[in-house]
Amino acid sequence: MKYENSLEFAQQCDAKDPLRHFRNQFHLPTATDGNPLIYLCGNSLGLQPKKTTAYIEEVLGDWAALGVEGHTEANHPWLPYHEFLTKTMAEIVGAKPSEVVMMNTLTTNLHLMMVSFYQPTSTRYKIVVESDAFPSDKYAVKSQLKFHGFDAEEGLILWKPREGEELCRFEDLEAIMEEQGDEVALLMIGSPNYYSGQAFPLKKITELGHKHGAKVGFDLAHGAGNIQPNLHESGADFAVWCSYKYLNSGPGSLGGCFVHERHAENEQLKRFTGWWGHNKETRFNMRKEFEALPGAEGWQLSNPPILSMAAIRASLDVYAEAGFDALRKKSVQLTGFLEFLLKEVETDSIEIITPSNPDDRGCQLSIQVKNADKSLHDKLTKAGVISDWREPDVVRVAPVPLYNSYEDVFEFVERLKKILW
């Protein structure tokens, strides 16, 4: 697409956008004076689909009318409720339905996956993460190292950008594995990176890790619903993600988990178990020994919170209607427009640290502003822009294709220019 720096161009793009009507399916925040806000923070919390209320009210109504019988007699029975989410979720992350389950929350799932896929020995115990991984990931992997009796600092290998750079280079990860691969038990990489917005080559990373005898997992908190990770094809051993960012399921909602099908019936894998991962046919025969369900479902612990899953189902139904390939196409164009406009700004004070290649990013752009502090973010908020600040000097903005418009992007840059000038 050839971009132009004008409001008229943005409005023309919106008029031609085949997905434009999906914006009307979301509640858009407004200021106290009733004026609409420019919401570019779906990378932190997605907006609420308008149908969410009806989906949750359906569960509440069934609960009121049926009580415990709602497990089997509800309009969407609670007993298999998580299965209503599987097909669309699998399509969004590029997996087979048997490889995906919605359960727990992200860091809980990460720990459950490391129980199975982080099996250190006295000589192979180290874990590789990107240096600026989301703090929760670092806390989790360090606690696993400590739990197994290793020094958390010595056992954690950081894949770092080179001095003076913001992005990680794959060849530097290769060098780490060539030098220390015999000691690495797990590569656990977040993609895209929450700070820089850099998306990593998952298949290449998986092949590299497996070549050196390590297991490979990914945190897709900023990937699910944003990029297409093609998890099955990547060959990753596992992946985890949340659903409240791009998947619009509400604050603190359930996460998702992927386990590659080659592990589907591996009884030798260690795991923490609970009754919801047990054979469905005998789950309610309380005297049976644990018999794991095949596939990702076998990692479930407890019966799921249906009200939260109803909100996820509402959002996933919007995704199914829109089609993820179409959303990704718009995302590339919308974020490309944002990048174009930012580069048109006549100042040397801003730099986009997110990769320019659409294959190496999702919809988020991380804008580094020289000599800025959080007061810049406060001014943006006052100007009617909901964005995201990350220390020391980065504003993160994410034009989400389901509900953001080209005009949103244009107006954001216009307001940013007024603040900078």
pLDDT digits (tens, 9 = 90+) for 183-214: 999 999 999 999 999 999 999 999 999 999 99
Task: Record the tokens describing residue 254, joined without a space.
Answer: 């359930």
Q: What are the residues whose beta carbons fall under 8 Å from the beta carbon of 295, sequence distance 6 or more? A: 98, 99, 101, 259, 261, 264
- What is the pLDDT, as a whole number, of residue 201? 98
Cβ neighbours around 75 below 10 Å, total: 10
Distant-in-sequence, close-in-space partners of 88: CB < 8 Å, separation ≥ 6: 316, 317, 319, 320
Residue 58 bridge partners (DSSP):
none
Those residues whose C-beta lies under 8 Å from the C-beta of residue 147, and which sit 6 or more positions away, are none
Task: Convert the pLDDT of each residue in 300-346 to its tens digit.
Answer: 999 999 999 999 999 999 999 999 999 999 999 999 999 999 999 98
Asked whether the predicted pLDDT for residue 291 surpasses 90, the reply is: yes
Task: Give me the torsion for CA of 307, 312, 313, 317, rounded to 10°.
Answer: 150
Look at residue 348 and tell me whether its pLDDT is greater than 90: no
Q: How confident is the model at residue 33 (pLDDT cuts 50, 70, 90)?
A: confident
List, for residues 80-112, the tens digit of each pLDDT value.
999 999 999 999 999 999 999 999 999 999 999
Report the predicted TM-score, pTM, of the whole model to 2 decimal places: 0.96
Average of per-residue pLDDT values in the chain: 97
- Domains annotated on the chain, with CATH: 7-50+324-420 (3.90.1150.10), 80-320 (3.40.640.10)
Query: Residue 181 corresponds to which tokens in the numbers above?
Result: 């691969």
| Separation between Cα atoms, residue 339 and residue 349, nearest integer Å | 15
Single-letter amino acid code for the residue at 378: D
Of 190, 234, 191, 240, which Cα lies nearest the Cα of 209?
234
Residue 242: its pLDDT value, please? 98
DSSP 223: T
Cβ–Cβ under 8 Å, residues 183 and 213: no
| Rg from Cα positions in the chain | 22
% of the chain surpassing 90 pLDDT: 95
